Structure 1
Amino acid sequence: MKLGTIRVNGTPQVIAKVKDNSAVAVDYRWMEDLIEAENRGLDTAAKAIEDALSGRKPTIDLTGVNWMAPNPKASKILGCAVNNINLNKRAYKPMTAPMFFTKGRSALTGHMKTIELLEEHGQSINEPEPVAVFGKKAKNVSDENIMEHIFGWTLTNDVTASGVKFSQDSIALKQTADLIKPHHTGWRPRMGEDGEVDTYLLFIYHSKSKAADTFASMGPWITTKDEVPDPNNLRVRGYVDGECYTDDSTSNYYFPVERVLSEASKWFTMEPGDCVHTGTASKGTEKHPRGNIGTYMHNYDGKMTDVEIEGLGKLSNLIDSKFKG
């Protein structure tokens, strides 16, 4: 089953997909309410589809509808950083556990909406990836049991503005020797002569580079988990102006999906409707050998960018870049 949210006359409306370009209204205003209703919510959606197919309920033509993110009220949106074997080939210090960043719901936007890059964002890249949507509260859930807490899967373009990340959102400090601890410098070679105290550190923060408005495009659909038998073997492709710049698979994740979601529940209480980006696609194509790294969005101002994931559908957005460098 595929479920989405559109805006009708200014009001959110949950819909269920009937056929390729048609849907039916489900008796919920907010997706989160349907998710929390568990089987009752799914039964309501299934009945709406049945009624639409039999002509007992009118269908909605999806041409030109006003899409919202599937769950516009997610209390948490987490991203799993650098979770791709291709990106870890150059790791000086390999990851020991999934790494997370957060986005607020103000970063959400929907299918066919505009992704807006400020001049200060600078060079920015697409990151196509699947998103797990939680269906039940989860805290400290094991890898083996975490999928029992998942409602379904959607798509995201996890925009990353590397320009602002390595400028406004980075700071290099020379600390005093008494503040330097082993974990500060364990990841890199020491500088200077033997015995000299190395106190130079670089800190990077991610809010403006990862969580700005429109930087969490999602949708158009949540596909219920019964239709996604193996989230660790999904083909993920990204396009700009119709050209494929990355063709990858979740089988190339550094950490499998279950480990990512279990780790998220260790540090954060995951609630119904919460979203976790499980890892970007990165593997390049013949025309774009570096994949998404180096395929900068500002070079495609005014063009469409798409995320396509096997079984989940296609998410499309217009690029509006104020950065022309």
Structure 2
Amino acid sequence: MMDWTDSWCRRFHRLLTRRALLYTEMVHANAVIHGDRDRLLGHVSAEHPLALQLGGSDHDTLARAARIAAERGFDEINLNVGCPSDRVQSGTFGACLMAQPEQVARMVRAMQDAVDVPVTVKHRIGIDEQDSEADLRHFVETVARGGCRHFIVHARKAWLQGLSPKDNRDIPPLDYERVFRLKAEFPELTIVLNGGLDDVRVAHGYLERVDGVMFGRLAYHQPWVLAEVDRLFFDETGGVTREAVLQGLIDMAREMRATGVPLARLTRHVLGLFHGEPGARQWRRILTEGAHRADAGPELIERAAEPCLRVCA
């Protein structure tokens, strides 16, 4: 998610689930080639398994960016063909590429030829008036001929004109059944459901009809739901505790202090850790008010967590 899922966010989420595949925010292929790679592609080993999400429309440029990403250790390269923002459209990438499935197929083939890790595609169920099941079927079938075997499907269409990116996440109705039918029609492909998933247990039930589910805003705003993922989806025993997660955050805060990284770069991602629990308001207030101080460090996280842990105990 743009401007959200940076390395500090992913390191926090990894404290909650060891097994889920984490994704970066979308990075344009040109930026990977010409920009600050340490900033754009930087990550630590603890974040794996980790996928880089790329945007772009030129197959040679995407292939070069994918090769750079693979050399940097990413476990998957994901091509975004679902973002509807004006900025993305002006660059002729994102959701508008659903109107050009043959081009997407060429892009996928070029990326696959450049790397040994999986290349996947994330897309919508349709765009504008091109939103019939036949249109969706044609898109997936064409891109699959280009070599893609793994599709992440946001179960909403996108209106490229007239709706903001935020409205495109909420106004077009969800149609999970269309994604389920897509999987039934292409059983040989991996189809992952995305969009509006707001209950981890309910989403787990969808695995009877698709191969996987992707959480976005739910995982960000209510991150504790990720603590159920390893048990529900991977049959892991045991589980994570809030105390263990807090200790991980404190360790990260110590690292940030030692390396001169402002604590706010971490705390903005963890405000929802106690969502719905007693003490959550104090947690958010203390972190929000204190994280921007120059001397903010692990002590702030400990102080913010005290009201929550007293209630949980």
Q: TM-score range by the shorter chain?
A: under 0.3
Normalised TM-score (structure 2) = 0.24
The structure with the largest alpha-carbon Rg is 1
Which structure: greater helix fraction? 2
TM-score normalised according to structure 1 size: 0.23
RCO higher in structure (CA 8 A, sep ≥6): 1
**Greater per-residue strand proportion:** 1
